[in-house]
Structure 1
Amino acid sequence: MSDRADSSSDLAAAFAHWRPKLLRALFRRLGNRDDAEEIAQESFLRLAAAGKALPLDEQGPYLQRIALNLSHDLWRNSPARQQVDLVAYDDGEIPAADIAAEGDCPCARTEQRQRLERLQQALDELPERQREAFVLHRFDGLTQDQVGERMGISRRMVVKHLARAFAYCEIRVQYASLEQMEHLHPAATRRADDDS
C-alpha cells in the first residue's frame, strides 16, 4: 500500500511540476487548448501506466516524447493531414505513403509487417474492455467521451483503459511472442491484466 501511495505522490509531484510546461509547449505546437489538455493528460496517464520510477529531471523529456508522439498521432488523423497526404498522379490521387513504400527496401517492409503482426497479437491479448476502448478510439475515431458513452463508462475509465492498452502495445511489439515478453518484461503483462 505504501508503494502505491508513494507512486501516487510521485505522479502528483510530476503533474504539478511538468503540466504547465507541457501545456505551453503543446498549445504552441497544436494551437488548440482542448487538444493540448487532452494530450497532456494522456501523457501523464502513460507515464503512470509505464510504471517507471524516474527522477523529476528525467520525467520532463519522457513526458515530452510521449506528448510529441501523441501530437503526431493527432496530426495523422486530422483532415488537414489527409489533404496534405494526397499526391496528384495522372487523373487520380493516391496516398503519398503508397509512393514512399514502393521505394522501401525489402527489409524495411518485412520489419513493418512484423510490427503490424505483433500489434495485432497485442490487441488480441488485451483484456476485452481495454481492447474495445482502444479499437473505438484508434480505429473507429471516436473521442474519449464518445467511447465512454458507447461503453457505458466514465471518461476517466476510458482514459485508464486507453493508457494501459497503449502502454501494453508499445511494449508488446518489441517482442516476437507473448512468452518472450513475459520472460523478459513480466511487469507489462501484470499491468495489462490489472484492469480487466
Structure 2
Amino acid sequence: MLEYYKEILNYVSKLVGDKESAKDIAQETFVRVMELDSNKQINRSFLYKTARNIVIDELRKNKKFSHVEFLEETYSIPKYEQPDEIVIEDNQYKNLMKIVNTLPSRSKEAFIFHAIDGYSRKEIAEIMGISQNAVEKHITRATKKLQEKLTNKVGQLER
C-alpha cells in the first residue's frame, strides 16, 4: 500500500496547490486507511477516494488552496534556445492553467488525469469512483469548455 504514497502525494498536490498541505493530507490518507480493518485488501482507488475526501474536508475548512501556482511549478515548460520563446511559452501555459482552473471540479479532475497525467479513461474511472462513460463526459465537457474559452480569448486578441 505504501508504494502508492508518491502517487497519492502528487494527486493531492495537484488538487490543493500547496506542497506542505499536500504532504499532510497524503499522510492523513495513509493513517486513516491503516486504521481500518487490516485484514481487508486496500486498493489504489480506495486510497484516491480517501485522499479526495480529506481534500474536500480541508477545502471546506480553509478555502485557502491555490491550484494555479502549484501546477505552474509542477509541470515544466519545454526549454528553447531563445529567451523570448520561453517567455511566450510560459505565458501561454499560465493562461491555459488559469482556464483549466475555472472548470467544474470533477471535469477539471478528469481532464488533468487524462491530458496532463496521461491516465487512461479506465484508470480515471477507478480513481474517481465513476463509470468510464462519466469520465468520457467530464473530459468532453472540459475539452469543449476549454476550446470555447480559448476561442473567445483569441477573438478578443484579434480585435
Assess same fold via TM > 0.5. no
- Shorter-chain TM-score: which interval? 0.3 to 0.5
Name which one, 1 or 2, has greater alpha-carbon Rg. Answer: 1
Q: TM-score, normalised by structure 2?
A: 0.42
Greater per-residue strand proportion: 1
